[in-house]
Each structure stands twice: as C-alpha cells, then as structure tokens.
Amino acid sequence: MNNENIKIISKEILSDNWYTLSKITFQYSKKDGTVETQSRETYDRGNGATILLYNKVSQTVILTRQFRLPTYLNGNESGMLIETCAGLLDQDNPETAIKRETEEETGYKITDVKKVFEAYMSPGSVTEILYFFIAEYSKDMKVSEGGGHHEEQENIEVLEMPFADAVKMISTGEIKDGKTIMLLQYAQLNHLFEQ
C-alpha cells in the first residue's frame, strides 16, 4: 500500500468468527488538496479462483449447483445457485488451488489450466480478488463423483450441460452468479465453441 493520498488512521476488527470484518478509518487527500476522513467496513475472506471446464467435442461445460444462504436471504427462493467451480486459495497459488478445487467439487482431475483474467468481485466492501481460469475436460479425466468435502459442509451437485443451454440460462435468470456469467461470456467472446 503506497498511495500517498491515503493514510490509514485505525483498524478495528468487528468480527473474526468465519472471516474478518473490519472497520477502517482513513484519510483521503482529494485532488483539490482537501483531506477527508472516512470510515468503511471491509470483509476479508482471502482470495479465490474459479474455472470454466469445457469440452469442444461434446460442446458441453461442467457447472455446479449448491445452496448459497446469502442469495436465499436476498430473494433466491430455493437458495440454489448454478456456478462455475470455485474456491479459496488457502495459501496456495491460484493455479494449484483451482486444480485442487476442480477435483474436489467436480471429480475431474485436470492438469492444464489457462488463466484468462482476474477481478475484484465486490470492491466496495470485500477485499477478495478472484482468479479466472478455463480448462478443457474429457470423460477420462473423471476420477470421482465430486461434490466437495463433507467436513467443509459442502453439498455440491455436478452439472454437465450444453454450452448453448448454459448461455441461455443467463437470460432466463437460471444463472445469476457473476463469476459464472463472466466465464460463459468469455467463452462466447473468445469462440471456445464453434458457432
């Protein structure tokens, strides 16, 4: 952190039950020379990675479906969300982490992944940066049923579907997850599947 226009005054931890919620008070020097003091809450859950698994031959993608409490509390009637495989880095580099998460969640053991971009997903309050990957998969890469780790209370359903159907599910509202929409649109824009 080397922005000379920002000076951190104080940091108060409000909660560290699951991840860390902090209240940060800082001074911000504006372009007109005035200094403004502001307070913001930030939520630090670590950084993460996500991946779109795709098969050019079968024209399919692998997605997951699981219950997401925050979406349930905010209007998602079932609380179920269709998503690309994702997880926290847990001290690993992004490539190692996404390979681990892919095998745990989907049951596919992949070796070749391509990082396509990275993004802050909710920069107004969440510190997380998310690393986005793509990888081709085939049936012979399947080593388990996936579903996540029981001890982490994961109950993940693995979905294989035509790419065209997944794209349609964005406009029908069946897919509302930001990272998933971004990767499906990346696949469209970069012609991962022949039109």
The candidate with the shortest Cα–Cα distance to 116, out of 101, 137, 96, 133, is 133
- 80 Cβ contact list (under 8 Å, min separation 6): 65, 66, 67, 68
Instruction: Write out pLDDT tens, residues 88-108.
Output: 999 999 999 999 999 999 999
pLDDT score recorded for residue 193: 85
pLDDT for position 145: 82
Average pLDDT over the chain reads 93
pLDDT value at 195 more than 60? no
Task: Tell me how far apart the alpha carbons of residues 114 and 95 are, in angstroms, rounded to a whole number.
Answer: 9
Question: How much is the pLDDT for 146?
Answer: 80
Statement: residue 171 has pLDDT above 70:
yes
Q: Token match 């085939």: residue?
A: 138
Token pair of 168 as six digits: 């349609």
Q: What's the order of all strands across the beta sheet hosting 6-15?
A: 6-15, 20-29, 35-44
The predicted pLDDT at position 151 comes to 60
Domains of the chain: 6-44 (no CATH), 48-189 (3.90.79.10)
- CA torsion angle for 109, 115, 121, 123 (degrees, to 10)? 130
Give pTM, 2 decimals: 0.91
What's the pLDDT band for 2 if we cut at 50, 70, 90? confident
